[in-house]
Chain A
């Protein structure tokens, strides 16, 4: 017999807004994902390229005052990057404002496409596979859907979990890079010259986040075993990139020349290259006509993945 027993107490306080339920799911997802030591290491590692690109920003701004340094800039970048035709032409632009905008666009594009794009594949491969598959396996969907929660709120909460980490490795470091560039610039006009770049960073990050998160969660929803979802996720990227490399090499060997049209054509088989193509359009490096097929591929993947995701979310409840 207890000495003191408060028993059951009723609850009649003010309820929170019904529109914030997805935030609850996202917060729980972010917290659970952060328990992975691999993710913590990867997050630290994901910010290291920003240090390198920060140094390049500094050297570029320094080269505006010390003209002879400009030619040396191409030696700092990896050879495959520094020999890209568009970048080479950009480094030779004389007008300071135009050159700054072009070089900054290129640097941010390279940062998001090469270093952060690769890290994105690894990071999403760690975070996304268990997000829904684990809920199905542990029957947690009953916990969610026996409450006043709509399917879209559940899906948005899960997507927001992936988006949060993708923002932390794409938009956040790129915006920090931009701010660093502004602070290091000796020019007073730097903000006026580059005001649109933060918006382009956000748009390029959205290009990275939206199709990848939809695809990853679609795969997670299709199985109870997160390892299968992870396997499917990495298979899509590795097979796509492998096919792209093989087909472009074969066709360019046959044509005996490197044609940008061949690269554009085969980029549609690789999700990684399609993302890069559309990001290059966001940074005004390519025209929309050059990337329209890649954009169509990404849009299709997003729509199909989202439709499958929504259907799969309600499947365990119908059983």
Chain B
């Protein structure tokens, strides 16, 4: 499909969106007694973090758009700026044709969001009570709201337990209620921030299938943030990579993966690797384009992974196995694989990827 950019109307458009956060420096209990050396007292006492740096994104109506990045990359800040919870410092944000700073009420009515998941509901209330309360905040007509609540409870298979307090629900069920809340007023745009985080595989599958259905059958525009690359690959029409508040790339998952398609990829799962393993392997494999250690959580049964992109996989495998054995590093598995979005992200962000960010 060819898009005429000049005449195109976007569901979401950000132009040079910038958001900074100022954090006060802690100067200790008696810090106020210390003499301030700086002429600018405010600068002396604050650190400024740029959460979003001139971000430009255009999302088309009906598109399922993924925003991918490690923790702290700016995904949630982006969602909060779009949903009017945060006021941008610079730039323009247009949602459903409305400016977030000038037409706040219309933007809010155009959006449904799932941010923060199950924690953002009233656990002492039932699912039905929660939904009726939020229907009221969205100024829905009473009669319509009741009908809509029943409809959503039915669709999300919550009808049987609709009158139980959420404190008796499982995490997955509460997440379903959070999704029902986002859909209450039938908004054209959905902002979903890590909707499957912490869910078991069964509930994750159900939620993913709901998201796909909302986009394909109901024509909703969906902005999905996730750090699960497989989820984005399966669901999204287009994906944007965000790192340190910057958009690194935007394209379809297939086109993004084509960037590393020609390269061979080796992934080795290892236990307790030394901190300098990257540089050690790099010295052994000079032809590899990217070597990246992705820390795992061994207590949870997830070993760390070493990704090697580029070069000849066959040669690399032997060298790595020998090197790891020599250093008594336990190998969990070794795969030569097809490229994933994660590989593209590693290639694009390289050294910029913060440790512990990618999971």
A and B: bona fide binding partners: no
Chain A contacts to B: CB under 8 angstroms: none
